[in-house]
Amino acid sequence: MGAGFGGIAVAAELLRHGLDDVTLLEAAPELGGTWFHNRYPGAACDVPSHLYSYSFAQPPSWPRLFSRRDEILRYARETADALGVTPRVVPDTTVTSCTWDEESRTWTVRGRRGGRAEERVADAVVLATGQLDKPAFPALEGLADFAGHSFHSARWDQDYDLRGKRVAVIGTGASAAQLVPEIAPLVDHLTVFQRTGNWFLPRPDRPVPAALDRALRLPWARRLWRRFLYHGIELITLCIRHPRTVGRVGALLSAAHMRCQLPDPELRRKAWPDYPFGCKRVLLSSDFLPALRRPNVELVTEPITRMTREGPITEDGRLHAVDCVIHATGFRTNTFMLPMAVRGRGGRSIEEAWARGARAHLGIMVPGFPSLFLMYGPNTNTSGGSVLFFLEAQAAYVRRALQLARRAGASALDVRPEVEEAGVEAVRARFSGTAWQSCSSWYRTPDGRDVANWPGYMGEYADRTREPEPADFRFLRPQAG
Ligand code: N01
């Protein structure tokens, strides 16, 4: 389920290894996942293009060092075409439930395509619906009372003309940091509501220099360049893991960048973060802070108390009358509630299994849900790396696990609860002392459990997932008769 980068990775991996009875059910009209949905102005990747791409599908050339949304979506389409994935995508199909059948050792997948109900039977299911798919709106009193136009950054209204309008952007995360500089020159007035400041580093985005582009056409040079970028972005994780030492250097570099971009002390004070470097996502942007200096832009740090017909009211009693409110308020993430009902062995739902918070063995398998795999599941997000690296590791793990079951003559495999428990505890323990634990963020539950991020380096995740360990599973044989 899901034909974004996760679904494409796993389908490509299975097809390349001769597991070719693969169907991708996608709710959207086409593949691309988050890159299909997010079409706000300035949508781009803050991970360098040569790394934000599959190792097994390296294009000979990227136009920019940091690709824009259209370029990334084109890459997803071309890769899916080249690897034979596209014909297996069934678009416009919303899966409503996945139910394990103990007798047949299969999953029944129910959904709707157009107005029609559909049912399929599968030996294994992969939930590749992502962590950043369900837009979150601020929990504000009177939200529905606003009489102007409003939409979420991840569901951009392309028919609404922002030119000459008074616009409010709520939120200053990674999405807002990209869209604010793009819309600021168009609108009459822009009010940016910030609840928490961010740490920034420059995003050296530009067309790939011609000489580098020529060199990178050589496969060995491309591999070397990817290695260089890989180790470069691992430095962010190094800072987060060691906030008292290397993290201070990261904070100093970020502070220097921010001071240069915000010469006005009052604006700087308002925009400055009040938590350690790396606790929330460090934003790579060279144009968000300068956009705040524009005469038609105001940064408001007074909390919004409620929404009215005319616009938000802040704690100081001020009404911010606007024509349009853009909610750049992120996604419903840390409950991991999947967009369909999932029932495993004994009719147990995934919500029941996750009563103590979302968790999975290596972020991929949940005990009691045989041959059900998660892509980009709990504890596999990265705030300092490339998510595609994780997705590739997960895709290979899924394929190897299915081959393991096949070799064992089993119909399905179920991860042992004690293995999952030990693994999850070890992962949680690795967060101790890191910057992630020093503030609240979408990476954590409100009661402080770290459920979204991988606590270490990308290479560690690749090592842990390299080979599924047979002793970690119960193999379910076909039922007699
Ligand atoms: O969402 P966010 P996002 N009043 O949750 C604020 C990925 N991504 O869409 O920090 C006022 O980060 C909230 O405030 P606070 C990336 O993994 C990648 O920007 O909670 N403000 C915050 O400022 C990223 O981490 C790229 O105090 C309110 C903002 O809304 C993830 O997506 C590009 C509020 C939400 O920020 C999510 O990013 C874009 C309220 N009531 C996104 N409620 C790449 O380049 C919430 N906020 C790859």
* Structural domains of the chain, with CATH: 5-132+333-476 (3.50.50.60), 143-199+244-327 (3.50.50.60)
Strands 116-122 and 106-113: antiparallel
Separation of alpha carbons 258 and 272, rounded Å: 9
Q: Which atom of ligand 1 is nearest to the CA of 381?
A: 17
Amino acid identity of residue 161, one-letter, is: D
Distance 294 CA to ligand 1 centre (A): 22
pLDDT 10s digits, 107-117 = 999 999 988 99
CA 166 from chain centre, in angstroms, equals 30
Residues near 194 by beta carbon (within 8 Å), at least 6 away in sequence = 171, 172, 270, 271, 299, 300, 301
What is the Rg, in whole angstroms, of the alpha carbon atoms belonging to the chain?
Answer: 23
Question: Phi and psi at residue 456, in whole multiples of 5°?
Answer: -125, -150
Contact 172, 194 (CB under 8 A): yes
CA 324 to CA 311: how far, in whole Å?
Answer: 8
Collect the ranges in the chain with pLDDT lower than 50. Answer: none
For residue 337, what pLDDT is reported? 64
Chain centroid offset of residue 217 CA: 29
Q: For residues 146 and 110, give the distance between their C-alpha atoms in angstroms, rounded to a whole number.
A: 37
Structure tokens at 14: 């299975």
pLDDT at site 355? 86
Rounded to two decimals, what is the model's pTM? 0.95
Distance CA 459, CA 208 (A): 27
* Distance of alpha carbon 133 from alpha carbon 373, whole angstroms: 18
Q: Is 46 in the pocket of ligand 1 (CB under 6 A)?
A: yes
What is the whole-number distance in angstroms between the Cα of residue 173 and the centre of ligand 1? 4
Ligand 1 close to Cβ of residue 5 (< 6 A): no
User: What span, in angstroms and rounded, lies between the C-alpha atoms of 240 and 479?
Assistant: 49
Q: Tell me which residue of 173, 174, 172, 212 sits closest to 49, measured CA to CA.
A: 212
Give the up-direction half-sphere exposure of residue 280: CA atoms within 13 A in the CB hemisphere.
19
- Of the candidates 284, 244, 255, the one whose C-alpha atom is nearest the C-alpha of residue 385 is 284
What confidence tens digit (pLDDT) does each residue in 205-230 have? 999 999 999 999 999 999 999 999 99
- What is the distance between the alpha carbons of residues 169 and 288, in angstroms, rounded to a whole number? 13
- Expressed in percent and rounded to 5, the helix, strand and coil fractions of the chain are 35, 20, 45
What pLDDT was estimated at residue 481? 56
304 ligand 1 Cβ < 6 A: yes
Cβ–ligand 1 distance for 180 under 6 Å, the answer no
Does residue 442's CB lie within 6 angstroms of at least one atom of ligand 1? yes
Query: Using a 6 Å cutoff on CB, does residue 62 contact ligand 1?
Result: no
CA proximity to 361, closest of 348, 345, 346, 372: 372
Query: Alpha helices, DSSP H only, in 338-385?
Result: 350-353
For residue 7, what pLDDT is reported? Answer: 98
Q: Which residues contact 1 (CB under 8 A, 6 or more apart)?
A: 7, 24, 25, 26, 95, 98, 109, 125, 126, 127, 128, 129, 340
Cβ-based neighbours of 317, under 8 Å, separated by 6 or more: none
- Does any ligand 1 atom lie closer than 6 A to the CB of residue 170? yes
State how far the Cα of 264 lies from the Cα of 334, in Å rounded to an integer: 37
Contact predicate 99/108, CB 8 Å: yes
Nearest to 395 by CA among 377, 420, 409: 377
Q: Please, are residues 103 and 86 in contact by the beta-carbon 8 Å criterion?
A: no
CA distances to 66, 191, 285 from 204, rounded to whole Å, are 8, 26, 8
Residue with tokens 């040569």: 50
Q: How far is the CA of 103 from the centre of ligand 1 (A)?
A: 44
Name the nearest CA neighbour of 105 among 90, 118, 94, 121: 121
Residue nearest ligand 1's atom 35 by CA: 329
Gap from CA of 328 to ligand 1 centroid (Å): 6
What are phi and psi for residue 280, nearest 5 degrees?
Answer: -100, 175
Instruction: Read off the tokens for 239.
Output: 């800072």
Helix (H/G/I), strand (E/B), else coil: 224: helix
CB 3 within 8 A of CB 31: yes
DSSP secondary structure of 286-335: SSHHHHHTSTTEEEE-SPEEEE-SSSEEETTS-B---SEEEE---B--TT
d(CA 322, CA 312): 8
**Cα(154) to centroid of ligand 1, in Å?**
11
Query: What is the distance in A from the centroid of ligand 1 to the CA of 78?
Result: 29
E strand intervals along 69-137: 89-90, 93-101, 106-113, 116-122, 125-127
Cα 165–chain centre separation: 31
Ligand 1 centre distance from Cα of residue 398 (Å): 30
